[in-house]
A and B are shown apart, each in its own frame.
Chain A
Amino acid sequence: AQTVTQSQPEMSVQEAETVTLSCTYDTSENNYYLFWYKQPPSRQMILVIRQEAYKQQNATENRFSVNFQKAAKSFSLKISDSQLGDTAMYFCAFINSNSGYALNFGKGTSLLVTP
């Protein structure tokens, strides 16, 4: 079974600071994709960043970057220069090629950015 674990139910960070959200996963596959999704209070699911397992270089999207450790099956998200608009639920997800490329999600981390 493929599982995704987010061990931090809630986190808080001050505006302009840096925060790291943790995610671990378990899979027997060698080639796969990992994602971080953001869900603001509007409940829209927004893709933040993705990582392809065969790429050693960590993905970066503006203030968002990942630390992908394939051997450790770890996929953390770093948010730099946090902004109030970053307040949201963040979900780590693993693409499941055995289920029509649907996603396995972690339970989420609620991030609060304070002034």
Chain B
Amino acid sequence: NAGVTQTPKFQVLKTGQSMTLQCAQDMNHEYMSWYRQDPGMGLRLIHYSVGAGITDQGEVPNGYNVSRSTTEDFPLRLLSAAPSQTSVYFCASSNRAPGAFFGQGTRLTVV
């Protein structure tokens, strides 16, 4: 049972480039979410999904797109990377209340 799998673990982008952070879970969880973690800021919610085909914005959605075509996958897209998007990104999944399961994170640097 792999849990939540995020790829890649590390990425360096140039300003203006686009990329997709992948997230997959094998626990048949309804709910998935993306967070970014910056020093001194804790984790902040970017986007979330309550099921296939349903997504919504979190606290810091600007510059990011998501889609949820299947229950298992919830990719996060950066359309035009900016230095302000340098951060550690976490994907998580859950079935309501028990608490979220997290991927191992992606450290993204935009130069």
Contact = CB atoms under 8 A, between A and B. Distances in A.
Nearest to A34: B99
Given A43-B88, A107-B40, A107-B41, 16 more contacts: A43-B104, A44-B102, A44-B104, A45-B90, A45-B102, A52-B97, A91-B42, A100-B56, A101-B97, A102-B48, A102-B92, A103-B45, A103-B92, A104-B45, A105-B35, A105-B43
Contacts of B45: 99, 102-104
A100 B33 contact: yes
Interface string A80-112: 000000000001000100011111111110000
Interface in B49-85: 49-50, 56, 58
Contacts of A99: 33, 45, 48, 56, 58
Q: How large is the interface on A (under 10, 10 to 19, 20 to 34, 35 or more residues)?
A: 20 to 34
Interface centre among A91, A106, A107 (most CB of B within 10 A): A107
A102 B31 contact: yes
Nearest to B98: A50
B110 interface: no
Interface of B: 31, 33, 35, 40-45, 48-50, 56, 58, 88, 90, 92, 94, 96-102, 104-105
Contacts of A47: 99-101
Given A44-B102, A105-B44, A100 B88 contact: no
Nearest to A33: B97
Contacts of B49: 100
A68 interface: no
